Structure 1
Amino acid sequence: MRRVATLAAALLAALGVAACGAGGGEAGGGDDRTVDVGVVQLPIFAPLYVAQAKGYFTEAGLTVNVQNVKSGQEAIPLAAGGKLDAVLAGFSAGMFSAIESGLDVKVVGSMGVADADTDQPASALVVRKALVDDGSVTSVADLKGRKVGALGGAGATAAFFTGLALEQAGLTINDVEFVQLSSPDIPTGLQTGGIDAAFVSAPFWNLAVDDGTAVKMWAAPEGTSGTGILYGGQFVGSPVAQPFFDALARGARDLQGDARYSQENLTIIGEATDQTPEQVAAVPLYAWLPDLAPLPEQLSTMERIWMQVGALEYDSPVPPEQYVDARFAEHVPAQG
């Protein structure tokens, strides 16, 4: 796994200049209360957009520079090297490999979590309808030996959620074959028979179900998350690390329950993700913990599942206390 450190160095060299703060130099800008954040441009990271648009960072005396990134795997080395202060992204096997290799980052919080709505969840495991109609697949257990589409393949969040579903059915993640597909390609893969099932976010699972191609078979249990907040090691000790987290939590509190679908919030999320409010409202949103607490037990489960499928090359799990720092969520001011 030493090659991960080499990759990190290459990314830092290639992207370091672009990732520097607006005033130049390292992220955080020393004492100027500037925070440079890398985020994947998706509604699941709405607390950041809401906190920014409603002035919560400004009220905390912070200047927050938001930089869109393609993935957490791209941004984690930047945070470890001090070129970004924080990263909001999906977790992957690559994150654990980076941590195991010694990159200095901490998981400090969660982002989107599954809510209690299993009829219209933000993501779901769907099965090709033809297999359900002919009785070949009547439950998740019948997916043994079949092909499952997953964005990012076996080492990504979709595979983790699929692994949870398989374990609930008495199987393991090694009982299926993962096929790497982009989310927009999954409905087509189900229609053509290239895959038998897929774990995919809305609106792509809805499209496959609505056109009669697939049947929804499983949704993640309430509170399950595949995304979160990471701090670079240098930022963890910064005097602005807690105020930044507190403002994020204020954004999350504005998104509790049906409030996430308020016109104001839909407009903010839409502007941040290049969508109209109507487009945002048409897709089920995730929920968010009001204190954005990290979920170390789930992280350990992720690591275990990815180790089983061979997406991680090391043998001994990394203890969560080495890379999870819950103190920021624990010190979020009580809700008024």
Structure 2
Amino acid sequence: MRFRRRVSLLLLPVLSAGVALTACGDSGGKNTTFTPASAAPIVAVAGCENGWTNPTDLSAGRKPARCAANAPAPDPLPTKTKIVITAATPKAEFIAPIRWAIDKGEFAKENLDVELRQVPAADGLNLLAQGQTDVMVGSPDGAFFNAVNQGFGIRWVMGNFSAPAASRTGVWARDVDGRPATFADLKGKTFASVLGSGSPVMYPIVQQAEKAGLAFSDLKFKTLPAADLVTALQNGGIDAAWVLDPLWIQLVGKPGLTYLGGQPPGEPLGGVLFGPNVLGDKRAAGVAFTRAVVRTINTAFAGDYKSDPTFVDDLAKVVELPASQLTATPSLTTDWEIRSGTSTRLQDAMIKSGALSYKAPLDESKVVDRSFYEAAVGHKA
């Protein structure tokens, strides 16, 4: 049996398409008191001696945590447990470890029955917060932080990747008066992104703006469809843009354009969110899910996974993308950990962009839960 059959790529009907979450049932998902996974005894895990790094290490040269291949070993749940995941874009490289784990039976080794459904991001967050699904693959965006602030029991539990050094995902700007642009040149200029003002990319955008002596309000920010972004930048319809994979490939070497920088090195800005089901009664299943993802990363995505043409061909089938599209950009630096302070820096940027309904960042303990991957690799916090 092919595990890929568990992936449903039809858009599902949901109760609400709005970003504002609505309560349903007795609790409406508003269970914000959870028992940490570390409350269960944590034992050393063979092969995962280097499976944890200090979250306060923000150095650009930090190597991501790694276990040996095929570690941590499966520890099947006594009863088969269903886990429903949603993702807005299942056909994407950043979700590859999860789709690979489904296809290759890594979740089945943990006695998990995992179903992946394609759901728009705002709807997926609504379903997660209300306990109608268990896991969401995405990012801690403005809708996520606003939901946590409203009291909904959801947490950011795993990172996904940091951009490789060769990547040019990030800010591209039109040159000014025949010279390479700087971020300071963007004051009063039009800055576009496929993603809105509540996206995690606000963090590096605001960070670069402030280093140049600007505020976010100094930019004329707008959103554009991916199909229009590169064209608008090249023909002068916009002055700068945050350009995603693989669109930046079209800009490399083009005269009149300058790359100004991207995601902070070694700092994942997305990953996996757990809802009240997994943070509560299904916590053991959450650890098992995390263990399978970590094992998949260590076995298949630990290094330059695109250097093997056979692997790329198989990966292309799993994520349903052309192999040529995968090889057009460097391998992602997969990283399941969450850096200390990232959630605060994300919120600070989104407050400045006007995406959050509150004025001071929530404490990290209210939005991040590292205990699942710490339990999976045997690290005692």
The answer, yes or no, to whether TM exceeds 0.5 is yes
Cα shift readout 1:144-200 (whole Å, capped 9, x = no counterpart):
221111122322233333122223334332221211012221111112322111111
What is the match of residue 17 of structure 1? none
Cα shift readout 1:221-257 (whole Å, capped 9, x = no counterpart):
3112221110011212312110100101112222122
Cα shift readout 1:272-296 (whole Å, capped 9, x = no counterpart):
432122221112342112xx12235
Structure 2 counterpart of 1:108, one-letter code: V
- 2:194 is aligned with 1:145: no
Structure 1 counterpart of 2:319, one-letter code: T
Structure 2 counterpart of 1:34, one-letter code: K
What is the match of residue 200 of structure 2? 157
What is the match of residue 206 of structure 1? 249
Contact 2:156 2:274 in 1 (8 A): yes
State the percentage of identical aligned residues: 24
For 1:189, what is the secondary structure of its paired residue? helix
Contact 2:178 2:256 in 1 (8 A): no
Contact 1:90 1:227 in 2 (8 A): yes
Distance 1:264 1:86 in 2: 30
The counterpart of 2:262, out of the listed 219, 244, 268, is 219
Distance 1:202 1:6, change over 3 A: closer
Distance 1:295 1:11, change over 3 A: farther
Structure 2 counterpart of 1:185, one-letter code: D
The counterpart of 1:251, out of the listed 270, 276, 296, is 296
- 2:22 is aligned with 1:9: yes
What is the match of residue 195 of structure 1? 238
Cα drift, residue 210 of structure 1: 4.5
The counterpart of 1:48, out of the listed 90, 98, 109, is 98
- 2:79 is aligned with 1:35: no
Structure 2 counterpart of 1:96, one-letter code: F
For 1:94, what is the secondary structure of its paired residue? helix
Runs of 4+ that moved beyond 4 A: 3-6
For 1:199, what is the secondary structure of its paired residue? strand
Distance 1:10 1:207 in 2: 44
- 2:159 is aligned with 1:110: yes
Q: Name the structure where helix makes up a greater proportion of residues.
A: 1
What is the match of residue 333 of structure 1? 377
Contact 1:267 1:277 in 2 (8 A): yes
Cα drift, residue 269 of structure 1: 3.6
Of stretches 90-99 and 154-163 in structure 1, the one that deviates more from structure 2 is 154-163
Contact 2:156 2:369 in 1 (8 A): yes
What is the match of residue 141 of structure 2? 92
- 2:275 is aligned with 1:232: yes
Distance 1:86 1:277, change over 3 A: same
Contact 1:147 1:197 in 2 (8 A): yes
What is the match of residue 43 of structure 2? none
Taking CA–CA contacts closer than 8 Å with sequence separation of 6 or more, which of the two structures ends up with the larger relative contact order? 2
The counterpart of 1:295, out of the listed 316, 339, 361, is 339
What is the match of residue 304 of structure 1? 348
Distance 2:185 2:361 in 1: 30
- 2:316 is aligned with 1:267: no
Distance 2:116 2:321 in 1: 18
Cα drift, residue 98 of structure 1: 1.4
Distance 1:263 1:236 in 2: 39
Distance 1:258 1:285 in 2: 6
Distance 1:197 1:121 in 2: 18
The counterpart of 2:360, out of the listed 307, 316, 335, is 316
Contact 1:228 1:294 in 2 (8 A): no
Q: How many residues align?
A: 307
Distance 1:5 1:153, change over 3 A: closer
Give the TM-score of the pair, scaled to structure 2.
0.73
Distance 1:110 1:313, change over 3 A: same
For 1:145, what is the secondary structure of its paired residue? coil
What is the match of residue 278 of structure 1? 324
Contact 1:122 1:286 in 2 (8 A): no
